[in-house]
Each structure stands twice: as C-alpha cells, then as structure tokens.
Amino acid sequence: MEYKESHYSLRCAACGSEYGENGNGFLLSCSRNHPPALLRTFYREKLEIRNDLPGVFRYSNWLPVRRIIDGIECPSVYKSTGLAKAAGLDNLFISFSGYWPEKHAFMKTCSFKELETSGVLGRLPENNSGTIVVSSAGNTGRAFLKACSENAINALIVIPEKALSSLWLTGNSAGFYGSRTVKIAVLRGNADYFDAIRLGRIISSMDGFFAEGGAKNVGRRDGMGVVVLSAAETIGVIPDHYFQAVGSGTGGIAAWEAGERLLRDGAYGRRIMHLHLSQNEPFTPIKDAWEKRDRNLKIYADDYDVKMRINSMRASVLSNRKPPYSLTGGLYDALMYSSGYMYGVSNEESVEAGKIFYKTEGMDLDPAAEVAVASLFQAVKMERVKRKDIILLNITGGGYRCFKKDNEIVYIKPDIVFDLKDIQGVSSTEKVEEKIALLYEKVYI
C-alpha cells in the first residue's frame, strides 16, 4: 500500500486546531489549554473503495493508516428477512461482525473489536519499537492478541481476571503467539474494566510502553467506523437509524463520525443517521445521564453496590464506569447531534432477543449483540423507527458456537498477575513498575 502522509489531518473537536500525524503515529489529544476534547480525522479525498486491498483496508483512504495489518476482515452486511419480519420492519440491514461462513463473515475473534486493531496498529510506523498497552474487558484484548501476534507487534494486554476466558486464539494464530510479542497481565480481586484501565495507565507511563488510548485514538474509532462505511457501500445510502449496544460508547461515537463524514462526501445521500445505543441493566450510566440530558456522568466509586451491579450484568463487556461521554466530541455530542436515543435492556430481555435472532436468522450472538437486538424491539414499540426506515443493526459479535465447532481453540494463560491492592494506595506506581520490570527482565532502579 502506498502511504501518502497527507491523506488526513487531525482536528481538535473543541478549538479546531489542526495537526499532522506526528512521527510516532500516536497523537491522542490537542496540546492547547482547554477542557478534554477528542481529536478527529479529516480525510482529504472522497471515500474510495479499493478492491485490490485486503479486508478492511478496502476503505484505507478513510483510515488513518500507513501500513496494512494482515487478517482483519470486513463485517458482513445483508438485508434481513427473518428478524425484519419479527420486528415489523421493511428495510432492516444487519452488519454482522463474527463468524458465519454462509454470510461471508470470517472474523476469527468473533467480535467487531477486531476492526479497532486495523486503525490503531495500521497507524503505527513500521519501525515502532515500543510496547503498546491495551486495557480491555475481554473482546478488545482478544482482538489485539490475535492481530499483534500475527503481525509481530509488541503488546501488553491488561484485563480483569474474570475476563481471562475471553483470551483465546485459533491453533494457527497460537503458532504466531509462540513468538511472544504479546504478553498478558491480569488483575485479580473482583477487578472490572475500569480497574484494568487504571493499571494500564500506570504501565503505559513507563519507559518503552505507550497507551493505546481507547476512545481518544482516532485509529480505534475510524476502524470501528468501517461498520457504517461497509453498510453504506452495500445499501447505497446512509442508514436512517443505527443500533448498537455500548459500554464505553466508542463504537457509537465512531458510527456518528463515519455517518457525518459520509454526509459531507455526498455520494451516499445526505441523511443524518440517528444513534440508538443500548446498555445492559442494572448498570446503565450513559442511559441514566442522557435521559436527563445531563452532560455530566455520575461518578461511580469502588463501592460494593457498583461492583455488584456490574457483576450481575450478562454482557460484562458493556461495563465501563468512566465512558468518554462528557468531553467535547464524545458520546453526549454524538447523541445530541444525531438526535439519538439510549435504551436499558434487562438480562432476561437480552436472552429472549438472542433466542429470537437464532430462530429468525440462524446464528448465536454475543450477549452484547443480544442487548442491541432487544433495543431494536423497544424502538419499534416506542415508535422511534418507522416501518420503511432504513435501519442498520450492528451485531458486534457472534458465531462463537459455529466457530468453535470448526476450529481448534487455544486458551491463553497470563504472564503476570496483579492484585487490586497493587494499584491502590500511595506506592501503587512503584509496585506495578517493579513487577513489570521483572516481567520484561529489565534492571529496575
């Protein structure tokens, strides 16, 4: 792939300052003195679809990338008949990220988090020698585990212990993993995603490590934006409505940004795509704030009640105590500018939605995707969508059962274990640094 340094620039969503990509390919925020804001990419050309490039790189002139990362498949987009009929909709399109050979969906992690790796890792220069630190609730970790192993990129994945079962590879990818460019750190002691983010932050401030950046990384957001680009390519127009279950909400911001970009492009019509985002009860911080049109999220402490609520969620990947909601260009703005909606879905409703999807479409879903399906039924009932509207349902993960039947799965063991108390208290940074230095066999001073 020829790389044109100038195919995009970065603009601050708050002050409009414009930046070129810096040498290490990892500018995450504006340097001016103002409250937190996201940077956004601005691509100089219209969307060009490159059939000659593999997987998601067919959209590479709208990805902030300088190299191709192997093995990242596009979602499969198709017009639903079964689920559409059950919901009473005429134009329901499903974007399926997962494994479903009959629908030409071949994501070997069975999760749309794989899309994030295209933008994040493709943004890194070839000569990058640092170790990227990725904090995850499970699915993002598996996606980076696969992509970094297969492409020999140094990475440290930080996850709560209860998400360890999410870290698996196929036998083939496990062969690449054997070269050990990827290491795994787990956090014990009833830790959740937020705790993993905290541990990741401490590690990424050490020499030789850098933070993946989460929602702040334009590569992550534009990689996920491929869901909307591939849908527009298949449908021919920007959808009227977009449904997705969210934890941090980064996928929601990404979809909104991709929709806005397509609107400016003009080749796919000039519709505003309304966001319909859902969370799993009983922990729904984004929904709670949005229903009050409150830009400020409630602060969730490390208390027993919050942990219990998070532990009782069926879709644990949707738990994030500090999502990128309030900052300029974040989820509040995405919902506001798209005239969006939030939904709360109970565990029972999501199980039922999963059963309906299986019966009408014929594939098993990730619990988060089941939450999104349930929210679609709520939207129909509340008349937030009309029968003939063009609707895009982002099925963010599925096909696990089908995939595990067809493929040998290898579960990955942690390289290092931290306890929650390692990241609490005044000497937490020193404790973490000491353990990490030992893992990487560096002299600790």
Interface positions with Zn ion (CB under 5 A): 12, 14-15, 17, 30, 32
The least distance separating Zn ion from the CB of residue 39, rounded to whole angstroms, comes to 8
When the beta carbons of 17 and 347 are compared against Zn ion, the nearer one is: 17
The least distance separating Zn ion from the CB of residue 296, rounded to whole angstroms, comes to 20
When the beta carbons of 21 and 433 are compared against Zn ion, the nearer one is: 21
Q: How many CA atoms lie within 13 A of 110 on its CB side?
A: 26
When the beta carbons of 324 and 397 are compared against Zn ion, the nearer one is: 324
d(CA 422, CA 186): 12
Structure tokens at 290: 């949005």
The secondary structure element, H or E, covering residue 11 is strand 8-12
When the beta carbons of 16 and 236 are compared against Zn ion, the nearer one is: 16
- DSSP E strand stretches across 60-154: 76-79, 91-96, 99-100, 105-106, 131-135
The least distance separating Zn ion from the CB of residue 401, rounded to whole angstroms, comes to 46
d(CA 251, CA 140): 12
CB 275 within 8 A of CB 335: yes
When the beta carbons of 10 and 412 are compared against Zn ion, the nearer one is: 10
When the beta carbons of 29 and 346 are compared against Zn ion, the nearer one is: 29
The least distance separating Zn ion from the CB of residue 142, rounded to whole angstroms, comes to 34
The least distance separating Zn ion from the CB of residue 35, rounded to whole angstroms, comes to 9
Structure tokens at 124: 């890194």
CB 149 within 8 A of CB 182: yes
d(CA 406, CA 106): 12
d(CA 136, CA 151): 20
The least distance separating Zn ion from the CB of residue 260, rounded to whole angstroms, comes to 18
